[in-house]
Structure 1
Amino acid sequence: MKEIKAFVRPNKVNEIVQHLKDAGFENMTISTAEGTGKFQDDKAFVSQKFSITDSPTAKIEMVVAKEKINTVINIISEYGKTLNPGDGLIYVSDVEKVYRVKTGLENGF
């Protein structure tokens, strides 16, 4: 199993999620975030919560089978891009084990 964390522009999330669902990826976590980096958006603002952030972003997190990674990356890249700097990043990590909270038992995917 692999974990995908994608940081994308907030205005692209709905389209990305719809295409992921259409491709059969139903389970994901989506959250709003703030970040800072080399790129500074013209619409960036200094956060009222954190003094060092300057750009709103959204994070999509999901765990998928190793064989499905390229499909997910292609969907996020295709529907998340604007061809401008600051479109985001996608991280892929190994998942060693998954446990159900309700039972504490290892979940076999």
Structure 2
Amino acid sequence: MKKVDCILRPHKLEAVKTALSELGVTGMTVSEVRGCGQPAPAAPAFDDETLVSLPLRLRIEMVVPDALVEPIIEAILEHARTGQPDDGKIFVLPYQEAIRIRTEERGESAL
């Protein structure tokens, strides 16, 4: 199992969700985030005003079977890319275990 963590532009969410659904991805967490890549804003420190001025992005998090990782990456790249700076990032991390609390299912069956 792997966790796929993706940061993308908000207007790309629906296209990415549709593509992921077509791959069989049934669960994900989406949250609003703000941040910056390179170069960072020319501010001496991050205060409340600087934080608000950072661009709004969405973070999609999902834990999936290993076999889905590459198709998911390809789908995100195809549907989230604009070709402009700040299109986002994809991170893939190993996950040792998943447990569904209600049924106590473990591993991929808990996804």
State the TM bucket, normalised to the shorter chain.
0.7 to 0.9
Amino acid in structure 2 at the alignment position of 1:74: E
Give TM-score, length-normalised by structure 1: 0.81
| Structure 2 SS opposite 1:52 | helix
Tell me what 1:24 maps to.
Answer: 24
The runs of at least 4 consecutive aligned structure 1 residues that moved more than 3 Å come to 48-53
Aligned residue pairs, count: 101
Decide which structure has greater helix share. Answer: 2
5+ unaligned residues in a row in structure 2: which ranges? 41-46
Tell me what 2:51 maps to.
Answer: 52
Give TM-score, length-normalised by structure 2: 0.80
1:34-53 per-position Cα deviation (integer Å, ceiling 9, x unaligned):
1122257xxxxxxx966435
In 1, Cα distance between equivalents of 2:4 and 2:84:
22
| Structure 2 SS opposite 1:90 | strand
Amino acid in structure 2 at the alignment position of 1:82: T
**Identical residues among aligned pairs (%):** 30
**Cα distance, 1:89 vs structure 2:** 0.3
5+ unaligned residues in a row in structure 1: which ranges? 41-47
Q: Which residues in structure 2 correspond to 1:30-69 (within 5 Å)?
A: 30-38=30-38, 51-52=50-51, 54-69=54-69
1:21-65 per-position Cα deviation (integer Å, ceiling 9, x unaligned):
12211211111111122257xxxxxxx966435110001111111
